[in-house]
Amino acid sequence: MLRLHGHELSGNSAKVRLLLDLLGVPYEWVRVDLMKGEHKQPPFLALNPFGQVPVLEEGASVLSDAQAILYYLAARQGDGQWLPVDPYEQAKVVRWLSTAAGEVRQGPENARLFHRFGVKSLSIEHAQEKSSFILGQLDRHLSDRQWLELERPTIADIAVFPYIALAGEGGIDLTPYPNVLAWIRRIQALPGYAPIAGLDAELSL
């Protein structure tokens, strides 16, 4: 049985939950109390010395980092559906895993940390500038396609989705990006999709 250590307000944990739900893979949810600093205590640090969720355990195997876990779960399926086997196609998908950890983190993820969690050491101006950049890029990219790559949902979409969809919690308005909004709704309509805290209420406005 897979064990996923995470927190319900963590968008990085949400990425992994989402893929597991879409795959229909059963797992045990282990809540890490981030507000009480459980992720900085020795038992959790033994799993991930970075002190961050998510962490996935499968027997003696322990993986951290949402993108790495998405890669593992999709590759482990072995059918090429969520992660293509062809190296060129695979690289196209991996590019978006990088974007999730780069531009999306620097933009909407940090804006949400600033507004939703009061991390005032971050520059909100920088996060807003990065958000405009990546949302503009995504909106253009999605103007003539349904999914980020390969004309089907892949882990590229899963990695980018939560923090883009949660942008409103960081004070970022998604209405100027209709193609992004349509893509969010397509993901929410996938069979197996389960609501993510803070996200579905916001989008139903």
Ligand X SMILES: N[C@@H](CCC(=O)N[C@@H](CS)C(=O)NCC(=O)O)C(=O)O
* Chain residues in the site for ligand X (CB under 6 A): 10-12, 39, 51-54, 65-67, 101
Reduce the secondary structure of 105-136 to three states and give it as a string: HHHHHHHHHHHHHCCCCCCHHHHHHHHHHHHH
Query: CB 89: neighbour CB atoms within 10 A?
Result: 15
Q: How far is the CB of 53 from ligand X (least distance, A)?
A: 4
Q: How far is the CB of 14 from ligand X (least distance, A)?
A: 8
The CA distance from 125 to 107, in Å, is 10
Q: Which one, 32 or 139, has the nearer CB to ligand X?
A: 32
Contact 128, 27 (CB under 8 A): no
Q: Which one, 124 or 181, has the nearer CB to ligand X?
A: 124
Q: Cis omega before residue 54 (within 30°)? A: yes
Q: Which one, 72 or 139, has the nearer CB to ligand X?
A: 72
Q: Which one, 37 or 192, has the nearer CB to ligand X?
A: 37
Q: How far is the CB of 113 from ligand X (least distance, A)?
A: 9
3-state secondary structure at position 92:
helix
Q: How far is the CB of 182 from ligand X (least distance, A)?
A: 26
